[in-house]
Chain A
């Protein structure tokens, strides 16, 4: 019995050391196995265009999806407390931030629409940010085309949009449902993207 204590203590110490090793390995394994970030994904609603390319539709319900209306006109500003810079150079810039929805009306990202002067004409720049997928930068002339839409070209993209080229249509669709809680209308964005053959 007298010799049992040191033996018992040694086993205890060995168990403790094994525990430490298992603790280090376990923590590393857990960190490796379970991702620290897991983005929620909505299934993409993509169709194939007859002449090639992928069609995908997004929209913004106005006014409920508006985050910001940045304008020198304080009456229009949203949120009401927003302090739009008084500097003269901001007088001709209009910035809007939105949540954007897919064809199933689920929010899938955020977007910025900037209207500004580019020399003699106005230009509209769109940036669409879809967290689980990437971002799109589209610039389009402010003049509407026949049919009441604007057409812009994909100028830049990130991640799954990085190697694509194509266009995006913007169209205002007023609500005609007459429902009490219906939006005033929606901004429809129809993208047509195709793989950049030069990158293959």
Chain B
């Protein structure tokens, strides 16, 4: 009997050691510098609130940490879309002026491999900028670092929240350098193929309500051949 207890305790300790190794594994660090931050091409920067309650509308299955907004919005409870969220939000330029509207659909991905530090979300953005046209952004995001450095500390905190400054790139592909694939739709973007990157800055997080203070950012790298984008430069 005592051997069985000893073995069980060992199994438990082993599982705990494994979990701790996963969380503190130095080989699963952030990718660091974003490839678009060193680009010499023209970059469009679009900001949006990372707090669901600041969106025009945000919905999911209704049982997640992030609550749908407004309260009576239709929820995505059907089996096929239960792990999906939809958001429509105002996009602002680098000077915080209203630039357009952004719609984001996100679904937890079956490509998630926690063993490799990959908590993957498949997402697409549709962005419409009245002065420029529309964009379709396809990406997969890795939330592993965010979970490790924001959500886990919040969960461990006695107050169930986290405060600090976390800045990270969420986009992990499909581009070879971990960038999103951007396709121009209408207006001056028509026919363009570009690269993009989504990042997030979080300063307060609650286990009960999700992000309390957070700002998201989309960077779109314009093609080199595009000399003059019609209208006002969004990034100036």
Do the two chains belong together in a single complex? yes
CB within 8 Å of B: which residues of A? 11-13, 15-28, 31-32, 35-42, 65-68, 70, 79-85, 87, 89-90, 92-93, 95, 97, 99, 106-110, 112, 114, 116-119, 123, 125, 127, 129-132, 134-135, 137, 139, 155-159, 162
Task: State whether A19 and B80 are in contact (beta carbons under 8 Å apart), knowing that A67-B59, A87-B98, A139-B185 are contacts in the complex.
Answer: no
A26 close to B11 (CB less than 8 A): yes
Task: State whether A116 and B134 are in contact (beta carbons under 8 Å apart), knowing that A129-B105, A131-B80, A139-B186 are contacts in the complex.
Answer: yes
Q: Which residues of B contact A156 (CB under 8 A)?
A: 136, 138, 181, 183, 185
Q: B213-229: contact bitstring with A at CB < 8 Å (1 yes, 0 no)?
A: 00000000000000000
| Stretch in B29-37, B67-75, B163-171, B203-211 with 4+ CB within 8 Å of A | B67-75
Interface size class of B (residues with CB under 8 A): 35 or more
Q: Give CA–CA (A107, B2) in the complex, Å.
A: 54
B186 close to A118 (CB less than 8 A): yes
Given contacts A81-B70, A89-B100, A112-B103, 6 further A-B contacts (CB under 8 A): A15-B10, A99-B74, A99-B81, A110-B84, A112-B88, A156-B183
Q: Which residues of B contact A109 (CB under 8 A)?
A: 80-81, 84
Q: Give CA–CA (A50, B14) in the complex, Å.
A: 60
Task: State whether A95 and B86 are in contact (beta carbons under 8 Å apart), knowing that A11-B3, A67-B74, A159-B122 are contacts in the complex.
Answer: no
A32 close to B134 (CB less than 8 A): no
The list of the 3 closest CB pairs from A to B, nearest first, reads A19-B10, A23-B14, A156-B183
Task: State whether A23 and B101 are in contact (beta carbons under 8 Å apart), knowing that A36-B112, A36-B114 are contacts in the complex.
Answer: no
A129 close to B124 (CB less than 8 A): yes
Q: Which residues of A contact B88 (CB under 8 A)?
A: 68, 70, 95, 97, 112
CB within 8 Å of A: which residues of B? 2-3, 6-19, 21, 56-57, 59, 70-74, 76, 78-84, 86, 88, 90, 98, 100-101, 103, 105, 107-110, 112-115, 119-120, 122, 124, 126, 128, 130-131, 133-134, 136, 138, 174, 181, 183, 185-187
Most chain B CB neighbours (cut-off 10 Å) among A26, A31, A80, A97: A97
Listed A/B pairs (28) with beta-carbon separation below 8 Å: A12-B2, A16-B6, A16-B9, A19-B14, A20-B10, A24-B18, A27-B19, A37-B112, A37-B120, A67-B73, A70-B88, A79-B70, A81-B70, A84-B56, A89-B100, A90-B101, A99-B78, A109-B84, A114-B126, A114-B128, A118-B187, A127-B126, A129-B124, A131-B84, A132-B110, A137-B136, A137-B185, A139-B186
